[in-house]
Amino acid sequence: MKPFLIGAIALIGLFNNASAQGNPAEALLYKMSLATAQLDYELSYILVRKNSIEPLRYRHALIDGTSFGQLMYLTGPAREAIRRGNEVSYFEPGIEPFTVISKRMVVPLPSIMHSDVRYLSTQYDFLPLGRSREAGLECDVIRVSSKDGERYSYVLWIDKKSSLLVRADLLDRDGEPIEQFRTLSLLVSPVITKTMTQLAEIELPLVVQLPKKKNLDLSWRVDEVPDGFKPVFSNRHRLFVTERPVESILFSDGLFSFSVYLSKADDLSVRGQLVRKGRKTLHSHVIGNAEITVVGDIPPSTAKKVAESVSFIKNENEDVLDVIP
């Protein structure tokens, strides 16, 4: 129980600090973070994309001080993700169930539900937009907009009673919706705790020991990255299908992320390809014998800027380094 009490106290302190500074939108985000982590609740929602609507259900509860989460896909083949503390188990059709050590579930929930509001405040503006109703609930509406205009924005509907997020519209730079998280029903009740207690008793798949992520010393760097995006780790591996060697760096600002991949250019390399599908952008760029590809949750113009900013670190004996050994 102790870690969660400490976390709750810290969040309450941050909330009071935000209130004192007179930013009601930021204060609401602190309250949302606290409610998301501490309440026992069930969200039935749909994820609306350009050509699809996907129904899902997410449950959360604290059991003996441990956070439990369960996400279920409600159509198609049975799919599910279960989190018990820092262990996350995935059940997907066609593959053996597995468990990994992680603090977060890789599932279709708005990342802002579990983000560090204090850090986001350095890169985003939080603006109150008034009140509205969503899923039959009275909500406060706020906008989360990037200060530099080089990433996406959110409009959020936060339930006044529970402070839980019930709707999130992801917007592109022109203010057009890319993706919508829309709650159909919300239940905050001790009944959820009783349901989730069963997860504490069932036997989950064994933990998969993933290779440790190593930060490599690469012979290239990315010179133009939007403020707030930090390199999480770098990697060298071969692509699963083609066995093509590639190096990569993952960047994140706590809300969105993207990866920069670098490999040797060949006859199959596409020069100047730019594709956006929903929130995902892919941009490829060829410099000399290197093909650079940027993939992630950033606007196309930002992806292009990042790709074209890659430069190479020359050594004393060569004018141009080989991209991949």
CATH of the domain at 15: 2.50.20.10
Count CB-CB contacts under 10 A for residue 244: 15
Lowest mean pLDDT among 89-93, 180-184, 224-228, 241-245: 241-245
Q: What is the pLDDT of residues 174-227, one digit of tens each?
A: 889 999 999 999 999 999 998 899 888 888 898 887 666 566 677 889 999 999
| 316 confidence band (pLDDT: 50, 70, 90) | very low
Q: Which residue has the higher pLDDT, 26 or 219?
A: 26
Q: What is the pLDDT of residues 37-53, one digit of tens each?
A: 999 999 999 999 988 99
Q: How many whole angstroms separate alpha carbon 226 and alpha carbon 230?
A: 9
Query: What kind and span of H or E run contains 30?
Result: helix 24-38
Q: What total number of domains does the chain contain? A: 2
Is residue 2 over pLDDT 70? no
| One-letter amino acid of 292 | I
270-276: long-range pairs with CB below 8 Å, 24+: 274/300, 274/303, 274/304, 276/300
109/45 same-domain check = yes
| One-letter amino acid of 227 | D
Domain, as residue range, for 150: 2-201
> What's the mean per-residue pLDDT of the chain?
86
Strand-pairing partners, residue 122, are none
pLDDT (0 to 100) of residue 270? 63
- 10: tokens are 């810290």
52/179 same-domain check = yes
- 87: tokens are 């262990």
153/237 same-domain check = no
Strand-pairing partners, residue 2, are none
| 314 confidence band (pLDDT: 50, 70, 90) | low
